Amino acid sequence: MSKIYKSSSSEAGGTSLAPGLKQRHVTMLSIAGVIGAGLFVGSGHAIAAAGPAVLLSYLAAGTLVVLVMRMLGEMAVASPDTGSFSTYASRAIAPWAGFTIGWLYWWFWVLVIPLEAIAAAAILHSWFPTIDTWIFALSVTCGLTLSNLYSVARYGEFEFWFALAKVLAIITFIIVCAVALVGGLPNREVSGIGALISANGGFAPNGYGPVLGALLTTMFSFMGTEIVTIAAAESHNPSKQIARATNSVIWRIGLFYIVSIFMIVSIVPWNDPALAAVGSYQRALEYLQIPNAKFIVDVVVLIAVASCLNSAIYTASRMLFSLAKRGEAPGFLKVTTLAKVPRYAVIASTAIGCFTTVINYFAPERLFSFLLATSGAVALLVYLVIAISQLRMRKKLISNGHSVDFKMWLYPGLTWAVIVFIVGALGLMLTLPAHQGEVLATAGLAAIVVCTGLLVKRRSDSKSWAPARPRQDANS
């Protein structure tokens, strides 16, 4: 796409990023990037809706993510790029596709900023009730923004320790639950999944309809797995890092989601009223009579939301930077500091996030809910674009003489299966009242973005192809 925005100021800084992320940063980011507050808290709602059969929801959603990451990995290994799937969509489908999915993805993560800031603020307010929650929300956001402005290595270091804490917390939780299930904890008897299933209506007590609904909920829990393909572009030997991260996605989802959820449904009855209210992890620890269960989970969730907020700022800024580099966002957003940080892209993304945080506290609730609805189906659209891009990119790579070293399995059959599945999931969302508004709002926003991109490109093309005005003779 020709440049459709131009910077109005001269670019004093550079326009390139530095490979400041170390191997341990990318490795830990790839391991824990999929772990968010949705696992610790949101999973309780999915279990309460579907019962033990929620395991099928997580298994199906996890399988989809594994396949999508394999497709994205194929393209990213062949051509690492900060714009990731947005760049690949521009090359494989059309410039408007990359433009649209890039801006929608940026908007998704911009809205994650206030969501995670509000969640962190709620926990901090419960500890320090004299301080208003909006002050905590803005303080946490500004603090992590400063870390992102310093250098990419600082972001990587913060995320390394955040991720390590999340991983250790989940592994410890699984070990404690496993010991309890085999009778290793004194005076703490647990029934096990078999007894809980037989005593509470079976494996799918509400039928398999809620399993489909829970599938949509769990699917969005995995959003963030693809961040590693964006971050790896700022590391040494990005192709190797991406291949390693993509190969590990199977055991990551299997351990952190499938195994941990299995432990929970083996200990807590699915119809426990407190399951959705306090969160699945906290309720499981309460059943095991672990002292200070709420405080322990609050600390872990606070770390998780801080990690997600940190990644949201980073991811939104890098996508905005990539759009600017391709001429699809204002030119000043691609300017980097001496430390090779896209400062203006970070500030712009955070500013919108802070503004929506303020809207949540001081504007009518409907406005914030509507803004959230506009990003409700972005995850599925991203997955769909990745699948279509990979379907077309493989042919282009081969026709141009490039070798495909990291391949999608059973191409093109599995790619087509993913496309059909995602289209079916979007169709299912349109039939469910709880998700119908999200699909329509996201579709409306996508239509506006597409039209904007096509309109501005047409104007840019008409200017670039306009015939030069003949010079007037100075003596005439």
CATH number, domain containing residue 232: 1.20.1740.10
The confidence band for 2, taking pLDDT boundaries of 50, 70 and 90, is very low
For residue 467, report the phi and psi dihedrals to the nearest 5 degrees.
-65, 145
Whole-prediction pTM value?
A: 0.89
pLDDT over threshold 90, residue 152: no
pLDDT over threshold 50, residue 239: yes
For residue 301, report the phi and psi dihedrals to the nearest 5 degrees.
-65, -40
pLDDT over threshold 60, residue 195: yes
Can you name the residues that pair with 38 across neighbouring β-strands?
Answer: none
Q: What is the pLDDT of residues 325-379, one digit of tens each?
A: 988 899 899 999 888 899 999 999 999 988 988 888 887 778 778 887 888 789 8
Burial of residue 185 (CB within 10 Å: 0-12, 13-18, 19+) is middle
pLDDT over threshold 90, residue 456: no
Tell me the average pLDDT across 89-112. Answer: 92
CA dihedral angle for residue 105, residue 110, residue 116, residue 117, rounded to 10 degrees = 170
Quick check: is 7 in a domain?
no
Whole-number Å distance between alpha carbons of 423 and 418: 9
pLDDT at 302: 93
pLDDT at 461: 65
Q: What 3 state SS string does the chain have?
A: CCCCCCCCCCCCCECCCCCCECHHHHHHHHHHCCCCHHHHHHHHHHHHHHHHHHHHHHHHHHHHHHHHHHHHHHHHHHCCCCCHHHHHHHHHCCHHHHHHHHHHHHHHHHHHHHHHHHHHHHHHHHHCCCCCHHHHHHHHHHHHHHHHHHCHHHHHHHHHHHHHHHHHHHHHHHHHHHHHHCCCCCCCCCCCHHHHHHHCCCCCCCCCHHHHHHHHHHHHHCCCCCHHHHHHHHECCHHHHHHHHHHCHHHHHHHHHHHHHHHHHHHCCCCCCHHHHHCHHHHHHHHCCCCCHHHHHHHHHHHHHHHHHHHHHHHHHHHHHHHHHCCCCCHHHHCECCCCCCHHHHHHHHHHHHHHHHHHHHCCHHHHHHHHHCCCCHHHHHHHHHHHHHHHHHHHHHHCCCCCCCCCCCCCHHHHHHHHHHHHHHHHHHHCHHHHHHHHHHHHHHHHHHHHHHHHHHHHHHHHCCCCCCCCCCCC
pLDDT at 386: 95
The confidence band for 396, taking pLDDT boundaries of 50, 70 and 90, is confident
CB 333 within 8 A of CB 321: yes
- The closest of 30, 103, 110 to 313, measured between CA atoms, is 110
Quick check: is 355 in a domain?
yes
Quick check: is 472 in a domain?
no
In Å, how far are 164, 242, 246, 276 from 30, measured between CA atoms? Answer: 11, 9, 8, 28
pLDDT at 462: 62
Tokens at 323, concatenated:
């759009």
Quick check: is 468 in a domain?
no
pLDDT over threshold 60, residue 11: no
pLDDT at 78: 86
Q: What is the pLDDT of residues 415-440, one digit of tens each?
A: 999 999 999 988 888 888 888 888 89
For residue 82, report the phi and psi dihedrals to the nearest 5 degrees.
-60, -30
The confidence band for 460, taking pLDDT boundaries of 50, 70 and 90, is low
CB 281 within 8 A of CB 133: no
pLDDT over threshold 70, residue 149: yes
The confidence band for 412, taking pLDDT boundaries of 50, 70 and 90, is very high
Whole-number Å distance between alpha carbons of 7 and 357: 28
In Å, how far are 140, 167, 278, 285, 300 from 293, measured between CA atoms? Answer: 24, 18, 11, 6, 11
The average confidence (pLDDT) of the chain is 85
Quick check: is 44 in a domain?
yes
Tell me the average pLDDT across 48-77. Answer: 91
Q: What is the pLDDT of residues 225-234, one digit of tens each?
A: 888 888 878 8
Quick check: is 343 in a domain?
yes
pLDDT over threshold 60, residue 127: yes
Tell me the average pLDDT across 387-393. Answer: 94
pLDDT at 6: 43
Q: What is the pLDDT of residues 34-60, one digit of tens each?
A: 777 778 877 888 898 889 999 999 999
Quick check: is 471 in a domain?
no
Tell me the average pLDDT across 214-218. Answer: 80
Handedness of CA 124, 125, 126, 129 (dihedral sign): positive
The count of domains in the chain is: 1
Give me the residue label for tokens 């009778």.
Answer: 183
| More confident site: 352 or 461 | 352
Tell me the average pLDDT across 202-215. Answer: 85
pLDDT at 463: 59
pLDDT at 13: 55
Quick check: is 11 in a domain?
no
Give the residue numbers spanning the domain of 120: 23-459
CA dihedral angle for residue 46, residue 49, residue 51, residue 52, rounded to 10 degrees = -20
